[in-house]
Structure 1
């Protein structure tokens, strides 16, 4: 039946054209944004997962920044320790030279004094971002230092921040408030030869530096030379400096291991962020090859739909010819 009031063919063509236009709008949105899941309405589950993982990746990026800051602090402290070890080795060599009969001990003491000044300068300069792990002039002793090292999400959805730790009390060279907390200001007990009795030793304690404003350890002798310094005392000083050198070497080794751990963690964070980005991309990114092909097909369908609608509308015009 042909009716001038109801054009079923035009209605069907119009419905098809609307469906094609809707599909084109969706495809064009994917092509322009590069995403097949852009909002929760597209796919609530995938959108939720992707949003959470993108948020976690931002947290991981912040962890990377924190690791960079931690690496800078450990690098600074290690550089200071490494320099201090070289200087203390030089002091040890000067003391060994002072043990030789006939040398001018007062001249050697002047060299040792300058080397001590260099140690103080090194300790004071080894500061980064307001933190100094080699020099402490506060009433609070340096303790364990924490550096943000990881961000994790458990299977239950709870999140936590992991930290890397370094015991800075082992690396403090000079403590102006409490000499016992500084590797170079504290008293070091050694056994030295006792010239009064053959083949015997005597206990003695020495400290290398007396910090400005600080108090010398009780009963401890400052490592310094005079023209009358006894050979036994020099040997005791050598033993004390060697003990300090051993302690600082251990601290530098621990600090170096911590620095290596930070570097490894930083590389892992970078790889983890890349993997998460890839995983999120698999969930929400659009396949541009597929979308471009679909868009081309929809454009063709749209043209055919418009042509079909035009043909359906022309049927009403054909009825006029029956009345001529």
Structure 2
């Protein structure tokens, strides 16, 4: 019988969010300061062989879901090759990708062929000028081109992640619903989180998603919905359609009691909670010659550090790292 990875609170860990780079080609104001360039050198990142060893160890402990993240993961050279290696690992049943889609048009086919099946795209607005302002210079047309290329390549579902920002994009929620209805995408709204200095500054635009749900319900008939996947969204469905709308509420209604994930950063740091700073250095272990049994033992030991819950409300200044350094 395959082992199961369980933390101190009885939660089964079956999902790893794998950051392959901490760099990004956009500068969304809620994620990175506009002038930030102090990224580690690439030799600090795990190589593909090291990543494969770590994910194989997780798979042997019962993890079946892997999400490729960043920064922007499509900036990592050779990503389809890595995706193929991970997709072939025994026990990995679900390989997905989170991206801003700027570079997706040219890589969608190769990633689909490599074994990536699901894709999440960050898209906070459908207005080119507003997109450029939020991302500090990004081009909306490149994102839309990437999303449509992903649809043609056969990715399903394609989930659109929209950060709900009071005073910035709160006049577009219904427009985004219509966009996803038209193209058969899934839509997920996300609350802002105080991760890093940029994230804390953005909390002045915080919007409780219960308010968003009530507003949408006044225009669309929403019924309870379900969606496969290992994430934290609570779903509603627009009656008479296939559109599911997810609400990710780390602040207003946290989901820590059902947390099933850990995050592995590009430099081999295992983060046990997005909203805390508990971490375990796997890179040092890998590069000291540890064998597979020692690697599995280290992962089990690291799980002891996973806290019961985050403290975004109580200690908003606790997490100083940028979101891009953790893997979303």
Shorter-chain TM band: under 0.3
Task: Identify which of structures 1 and 2 has the higher relative contact order when contacts are C-alpha pairs closer than 8 Å and 6+ apart.
Answer: 1
Identify the structure with the greater helix proportion: 1
Taking structure 1 as the reference length, what is the TM-score of the superposition? 0.22
